[in-house]
């Protein structure tokens, strides 16, 4: 196991060097992900997009997803402490919630997933809200999804027109926006009375 992990770390750190020297053929296809691996991938991307995955099924070359929007949280600064035996540091992360079109968020989810889901030709996403009411569905082919410009292109209407079916309309959802963590000020750190020795690790 130690040798396997060492080779994996070496491959991650020196991937470009390995490919440039021809140790791995540049046209070698990556192995296809199993359904369980695809679901884990989709769940991580969905959480990033303020969605949760109720089901993930693969039928021939189609990926069928059922996702749910999340309720609005509280705009606040989340506090956490990182440290170990040598001491600890306190940080805060401002969090706020903004509304966005469900269709935009669903397209963003699929855009992130498409590079890792080779072999799939069509994606169908059924959406319900946090109270289990149906919101709509979006169906799009892989070829059309590869032409989606995303927020940088600035034309959501054109992106949505590429879909085979889109019944999401103008439905909106709450999206969690996290700002980068920042350390507490000196005054706040002293007020928290953070211990210099902590056995809790994150």
Q: What is the pTM of this model?
A: 0.72
Length of the chain: 202
- Of the pLDDT bands very low, low, confident and very high (cuts 50, 70, 90), residue 186 is very low
Tens of pLDDT along 122-140? 999 999 999 999 999 999 9
Question: Which residue has 């991307």 as its token pair?
Answer: 45
Domain ranges within the chain, ordered by starting residue? 1-30, 31-192
Q: Which two tokens stand for residue 15?
A: 């991937």
Q: Which residues contact 65 (CB under 8 A, 6 or more apart)?
A: 42, 53, 55, 56, 57, 123, 124, 125, 126
d(CA 38, CA 116) in angstroms, rounded, equals 8
Tens of pLDDT along 31-68? 677 888 888 989 999 999 999 999 999 888 899 999 99
Q: Which two tokens stand for residue 74?
A: 């509280």
């Amino acid at each position: 196991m130690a040798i396997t992990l060492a080779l994996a770390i070496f491959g991650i750190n020196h991937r470009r060097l390995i490919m440039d020297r021809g140790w791995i053929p540049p046209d070698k296809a990556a192995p296809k992900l199993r359904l369980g691996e695809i679901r884990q991938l989709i769940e991580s991307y969905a959480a990033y997009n303020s969605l949760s995955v109720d089901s993930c099924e693969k039928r021939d070359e189609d990926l069928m997803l059922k996702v749910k929007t999340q309720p609005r949280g509280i705009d606040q600064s989340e506090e956490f402490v990182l440290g170990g035996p040598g001491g600890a540091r306190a940080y805060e992360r401002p969090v706020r919630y903004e509304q966005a079109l469900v269709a935009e968020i669903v397209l963003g989810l699929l855009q992130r997933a498409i590079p890792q889901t080779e072999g799939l030709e069509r994606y169908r996403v059924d959406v319900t809200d946090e109270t289990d009411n149906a919101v709509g569905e979006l169906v799009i082919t892989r070829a059309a999804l590869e032409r989606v410009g995303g927020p940088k292109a600035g034309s959501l209407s054109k992106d949505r027109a590429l879909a085979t079916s889109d019944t999401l309309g103008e439905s909106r959802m709450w999206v969690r926006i996290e700002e980068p963590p920042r350390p507490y000020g000196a005054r706040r750190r002293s007020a928290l009375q953070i211990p210099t020795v902590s056995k809790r690790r994150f």
